[in-house]
Amino acid sequence: MERGVLTKQSGSRPRVAFAYIGPLEYRGRLLKQAATLQQAGLQVEVHLGRSGGGTADFSRFPFPVIPFRVREDIHPAVSFFSQMCYAWVAGRRIARSGARAVVCIGLESLMAGVVAKRGNPRLRLVYDNKELHIESYLKVWKQAVWRSLQQRALARCDAVLHAEANRLQYFVARYAPPRVPQVLLENFPYYWELPPAPPPNGGPGAWRAIYLGMLNAGRDYEAVIQAFAELGPAYQLDLVGWGAPDYRMKIEGLLQANRAGNVRLGGPVPYSDIPRVLARYDVGLAFYDNTNLNNYFCAPNKIYDYLMCRLPVIANDYPGLRQLLEANGVGCCLADLRAESFRQAFLRLAEGRLRDHITDEFRRRHSWEYQAAAYLDLWRTLGVLPAG
């Protein structure tokens, strides 16, 4: 049985509703926005499309959670129908809730905001376009359906948030209607106080790497596992995250065939536990297949989490990653994922002492707190927070 939080909220404070489909405890981007708005004196509630996985007990969240079951594990047509049912139910609830604004996290939840605004035309609709969703769909018919829905919804939006600068520029050129504010809100983590940087955990000539995130296809796990198998036991890798059970079984099969025994598979990590987990490693990895613009202009949360924990990063040679990692001397971007490329990257990390470049000032500039003021300015512009 699902347990929601239905605590009574003060009617004197403006309320912001969030609409989101997915496991709530792993969606740090939503949780940080919610906490920032609460700290500014607003009420927050989350209308959650629970699609499998994650917790069914929402009582530990510091805001009311109103769940609705969404089926995304049967057939694309069933998934779409279930998502639209969620949009209808959640949107009507939000319209009646007295909320002053709704934030829709991702394209799948955007129609809930449209339904809510139809029921309450004074409602402010903010679309958190955390991905280039349409560009990530490979099937033409799916792109066409969601492109049509997105264009209709954008006409009702009061602001659009983006997680990466290249994505923002592309979206504005391709989709954005005039006069709708486009705001860059990157996937920065909270600033974490850290002790002085320790030496590499594995000692001289040995490295411990982590790949933290979703365990799904399209993230080059197979090539990375093969590369580490060839590198040998001096290079250890942990794959840590959550994903489809059948894909995890595939990864487990690859690990059993790895005679070096230097790659392990771990379970998901709640957002609050990330600093403790990353403290055990020397370097963070993040890779995506270059099959669409959403991957090419990627903005992985994990990269900023790595850097906040003072881990240099090895990632793809994509524009945004070059601008962040290579330009700041805090990581290496690989054109391919062969073992020799990794070996050279680890050599660069050691010889260039790239970990030393992740200074406290750098970490503060890439923290959630650094950009929170601009985020709150948006809510003042929308009239949800008082000016000044």
- My answer on whether 124 and 223 are in the same domain is no
Residue 199 lies in a domain: no
- My answer on whether 276 and 356 are in the same domain is yes
- My answer on whether 40 and 159 are in the same domain is yes
Q: Which stretches of the chain drop beneath a pLDDT of 70? A: 1-11, 52-55, 196-205, 388
- My answer on whether 278 and 171 are in the same domain is no
Expressed as residue numbers, the domain containing 54 is 15-188+368-381
* Widest Cα–Cα separation across the chain: 63
Residue 115 lies in a domain: yes
Q: Which of 260, 263, 186, 231 is nearest to 345 (CA)?
A: 231
pLDDT in tens, 242-281: 877 888 888 888 888 888 889 999 988 877 788 889 999 9
pLDDT on residue 53: 58
The CATH number given to whatever domain includes residue 164 is 3.40.50.2000
- My answer on whether 377 and 357 are in the same domain is no
- My answer on whether 140 and 231 are in the same domain is no
10 Å CB burial of residue 89 (0-12, 13-18, 19+) is: middle
Q: Which of 189, 354, 359, 369 is nearest to 274 (CA)?
A: 189
Query: How far apart, in whole angstroms, are the C-alpha atoms of residue 78 and residue 85?
Result: 10
Q: Do residues 313 and 330 lie in contact, with contact meaning Cβ atoms separated by under 8 Å?
A: yes
pLDDT on residue 218: 75
- My answer on whether 171 and 305 are in the same domain is no
Residue 4 lies in a domain: no
Strand partners, 283: 209
3-state SS, residue 239: strand
Q: Which of 343, 298, 351 is nearest to 325 (CA)?
A: 298
Residue 26 lies in a domain: yes
- My answer on whether 179 and 277 are in the same domain is no
- My answer on whether 46 and 139 are in the same domain is yes
- My answer on whether 94 and 240 are in the same domain is no
Helices (H) and strands (E) in the chain, counts: 16, 13
Residue 59 lies in a domain: yes
Residue 267 lies in a domain: yes
Query: How far apart, in whole angstroms, are the C-alpha atoms of residue 282 and residue 284?
Result: 7
Q: Do residues 302 and 213 lie in contact, with contact meaning Cβ atoms separated by under 8 Å?
A: yes
pLDDT on residue 2: 43
Residue 79 lies in a domain: yes
Instruction: Say how many domains are in the chain.
Output: 2
- In the chain, the percentage of residues whose pLDDT exceeds 70 is 93
- My answer on whether 319 and 180 are in the same domain is no
Q: Is 22 left (phi over 0), alpha (psi -120 to 50) or beta?
A: left
pLDDT on residue 246: 83
- My answer on whether 348 and 374 are in the same domain is no
